[in-house]
Chain A
Amino acid sequence: SQTIHQWPATLVQPVGSPLSLECTVEGTSNPNLYWYRQAAGRGLQLLFYSVGIGQISSEVPQNLSASRPQDRQFILSSKKLLLSDSGFYLCAWSPRSSGEKLFFGSGTQLSVL
């Protein structure tokens, strides 16, 4: 069966520090991969979307970037965090053949202080 791993679960970072969140998927190949962010009391917002290694689509202008160095690995990064980057970050995958349904990781609660 397929599983998705996301870490760390919680992270507290000072303003201006770098960020690296990692996500890996097991049990499937060539998945679509996503990074969503959820602000308190608000809906999930799609940040990045990838259909393959090195192929990244950015959905909103922001202080963040994403990379996909391997087929089942997706990384969210920032060189310098802002206060507004705080939130709940969720990695997700969907099958290439029927990509509508999302399978989410357990999320990372990021607090930028």
Chain B
Amino acid sequence: SQKIEQNSEALNIQEGKTATLTCNYTNYSPAYLQWYRQDPGRGPVFLLLIRENEKEKRKERLKVTFDTTLKQSLFHITASQPADSATYLCALGSGNTGKLIFGQGTTLQVKP
């Protein structure tokens, strides 16, 4: 069956450093991969979408890579700030709908 794995352990980093989160998947060939941010008790917020024919995408301090051979995506936050502290979810999809398969998320804690 399709499986997505994100590091279940919280990631703790110092303010100003680059945070790198990993998303690995198996038994799936997604057309695109997405990253969402979720704060406690709130709904996820869309951050970035990268398609299977794209290697890298950037948005302000965010960068996502997508390696369909390794079946892995890396999500980077540069110059991290305490306000970046949240849970980040990886999601895979293959159609023109929001029928996504989500990972369990990785919690990022940025310390001042």
Q: What residues of chain A have their CB less than 8 Å away from a CB belonging to chain B?
A: 6, 32, 34, 36, 41-46, 49, 51, 59, 90, 92-94, 98-107, 109
Cβ contact within 8 Å between A44 and B44:
yes
Assess A106 versus B98: contact at CB under 8 Å? Given A43-B89, A100-B34. no
Cβ contact within 8 Å between A106 and B42:
yes
One of A41, A46, A105 near B100 (C-beta < 8 A): A46
Interface size class of B (residues with CB under 8 A): 20 to 34
The chain B residue sitting closest to A90, CB to CB, is: B43
Cβ contact within 8 Å between B46 and A102:
yes
Cβ contact within 8 Å between A101 and B34:
yes
Cβ contact within 8 Å between A101 and B98:
yes
The number of A-B residue pairs with CB atoms under 8 Å apart is: 70
Cβ contact within 8 Å between A92 and B98:
yes
Q: Which 5 A-B pairs have the closest CB atoms?
A: A104-B43, A43-B102, A94-B98, A44-B102, A102-B98
Assess A100 versus B96: contact at CB under 8 Å? Given A43-B89, A44-B89, A44-B102. yes
The chain B residue sitting closest to A106, CB to CB, is: B43
Cβ contact within 8 Å between A99 and B43:
no
- Cα(A90)–Cα(B97), bound, Å: 16
B110 within 8 A of A: no
Within the complex, the shortest CB–CB distance from B32 to chain A, in Å, comes to 6
Extra pairs beyond A34-B98, A101-B98 (5, CB < 8 Å): A46-B99, A51-B97, A99-B95, A99-B96, A100-B93
